[in-house]
C-alpha cells in the first residue's frame, strides 16, 4: 500500500518475475556509453569523463501532498571517481533529492539511472551497492561505535573473516580509536557524524550518498575528514550535500548549486 516513505510497487508486482543482471554486469555494459543529454546550467562533460560510469537523473520533481514544490525539474550527472558536491542553503531541496535517490521518497516525476539500471525500478539492486549517511544520525543508542561498524559490515556482505580488519581500518581512518567502545548515546555531534559516515563507507559500496556529513564537526576535524573522503573516491560515485561553500570548493570535482528546488 502506498505510504509517505518508500517506493510503492504496482498492484501486480508479484506477476512481474524477470531475470535481472547483476550490478557489475550492467556496469561493464555501461562503461563506455556516452551520455549526450546535458542540462543548460551545467558545464558539459567532455573527453574521458563523458565515458565514465555515472549516476544520471533527468527531470526529477517532487511535490508534497500539501502542494509544496521541493524539487523542480532537476537534471544532473555524477561520475565515478569524483565527489559531486550539492551545495545549497537549508530548504534548497538537497535532502529531498537524496531521499528520492535512496528510495526513501517517491518522486512525483522524472527518471534516474546508475551505471545503466533504473534507480526507481531496480531499487533493491542499487541498495546492494549503496552507502548512505542521512542528514540526521540513525544510530542505536546502546551499541558502541565498533559494534555499529561490525553490524553494517555484516549487512553489506563483508566476509566474516574480513570484518575485524575492515572495521579496524575504518576506525583508524576516521580517528575513532579512542571512542570505539563508547555507546552511541554518549558521543558528541561530530563523533556521531563520523560514525554515520563510516557506516556508509564500510562494505565497499560503489555509490555513496553523504547528506551534510560534517555538520557538528570543528574546523580541524572537518579538514582531516575532507582528506579521507578524497582518498575514498576512486572507483566510486560520491554525492555530498553541504551548505558550506569552502567544503564544496575543497571536495567537489563538480559542484551543483541548488536554490528553491532548482539547479
Answer yes or no: is 217 within a domain.
Answer: yes
252: CB partners within 8 A, 6+ apart? 83, 84, 85, 87, 240
Number of Cβ within 10 Å of residue 79's Cβ equals 21
Answer yes or no: is 104 within a domain.
Answer: yes
CA distances from 261 to 44, 92, 101 (A): 21, 5, 15
Classified as helix, coil or strand, 56 is strand
pLDDT digits 0-9 by tens, 213-248: 998 888 888 999 999 999 999 989 999 999 999 999
- Give the bridge partners for 118, in sequence order: 113
Answer yes or no: is 10 within a domain.
Answer: no
Which cell is 18 given? Answer: 524477470
CATH of the domain at 29: 3.40.50.300
CA distances from 196 to 83, 103, 110, 129, 231 (A): 18, 18, 29, 17, 18
Answer yes or no: is 57 within a domain.
Answer: yes
Answer yes or no: is 215 within a domain.
Answer: yes
Answer yes or no: is 8 within a domain.
Answer: no
How many domains does the chain divide into?
1
Answer yes or no: is 1 within a domain.
Answer: no
For cell 555509490, name the residue. Answer: 207
Ranges under pLDDT 70 in the chain: 1-4, 16-40
| pLDDT reported for residue 32 | 38
pLDDT digits 0-9 by tens, 80-111: 999 999 999 988 999 999 999 988 888 999 99
What pTM does this model have? 0.83
165: CB partners within 8 A, 6+ apart? none
Answer yes or no: is 101 within a domain.
Answer: yes
Give buried/exposed letters for 211-244 (b at 16+ CB in 10 A, else e): bbbbbbbeeebbeebbeebeebbeebbbbbbbbe
For cell 563520523, name the residue. Answer: 194
Sheet-wide strand order for 207-211:
130-133, 207-211, 237-242, 82-87, 254-257
Tell me which residue range forms the domain holding 227.
22-257
Amino acid at each position: 500500500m502506498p505510504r509517505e516513505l518508500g517506493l510503492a510497487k504496482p498492484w501486480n508486482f508479484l506477476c512481474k518475475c524477470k531475470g535481472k543482471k547483476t550490478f557489475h554486469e550492467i556496469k561493464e555494459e555501461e562503461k563506455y556509453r556516452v551520455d549526450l543529454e546535458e542540462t543548460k546550467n551545467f558545464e558539459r562533460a567532455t573527453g574521458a569523463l563523458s565515458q565514465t560510469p555515472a549516476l544520471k537523473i533527468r527531470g526529477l520533481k517532487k511535490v508534497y501532498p500539501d502542494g509544496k514544490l521541493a524539487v523542480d525539474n532537476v537534471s544532473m550527472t555524477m561520475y565515478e571517481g569524483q565527489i559531486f558536491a550539492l551545495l545549497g542553503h537549508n530548504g534548497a531541496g538537497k535532502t529531498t533529492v537524496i531521499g528520492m535517490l535512496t528510495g526513501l521518497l517517491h518522486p512525483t516525476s522524472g527518471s534516474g539511472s546508475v551505471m545503466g539500471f533504473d534507480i526507481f525500478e531496480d531499487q533493491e539492486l542499487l541498495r546492494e551497492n549503496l552507502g548512505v549517511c542521512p542528514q540526521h544520525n540513525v544510530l542505536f543508542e546502546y551499541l558502541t561505535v565498533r559494534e555499529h561498524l561490525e553490524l553494517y559490515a555484516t549487512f553489506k556482505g563483508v566476509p566474516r573473516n574480513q570484518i575485524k580488519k575492515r572495521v579496524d581500518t575504518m576506525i583508524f581512518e576516521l580517528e575513532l580509536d579512542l571512542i570505539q567502545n563508547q555507546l552511541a548515546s554518549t558521543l558528541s555531534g561530530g563523533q556521531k557524524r563520523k560514525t554515520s559516515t563510516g557506516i556508509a563507507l564500510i562494505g565497499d559500496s560503489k555509490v555513496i550518498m553523504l547528506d551534510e556529513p560534517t555538520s557538528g564537526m570543528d574546523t580541524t576535524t572537518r579538514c582531516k575528514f575532507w582528506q579521507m573522503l578524497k582518498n575514498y573516491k576512486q572507483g566510486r560515485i560520491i554525492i555530498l550535500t553541504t551548505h558550506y561553500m569552502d567544503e564544496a570548493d575543497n571536495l567537489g570535482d563538480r559542484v551543483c548549486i541548488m536554490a528553491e528546488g532548482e539547479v
